[in-house]
Amino acid sequence: MHGHRTSFSLEDEFWAELKTIAGARSIPLAALISEIDDHRPPDSNLSSALRLHVLSWLKASGDRKP
């Protein structure tokens, strides 16, 4: 994708969260992954970038809970 290496591996729990994020944003999962890929540093690992995105999303979601 976009000049980066595209192979990556994620645990099922991260896949589930990425699907939840994509659904919450009303975008296809592939579009979410492309967006994350586009914004990661070129020397970073896509798997790590995806995991960090999930972590960031969950932390931000937790901040909104009463």
Position 63 scores a pLDDT of 63
- What does the mean pLDDT of the chain come to? 87
DSSP the chain: -TTS-------HHHHHHHHHHHHHTT--HHHHHHHHHHHS-TTS-HHHHHHHHHHHHHHHHHHH--
Tell if the pTM clears 0.95, that is, is over it. no
pLDDT in tens, 14-46: 999 999 999 999 999 999 999 999 999 888 899
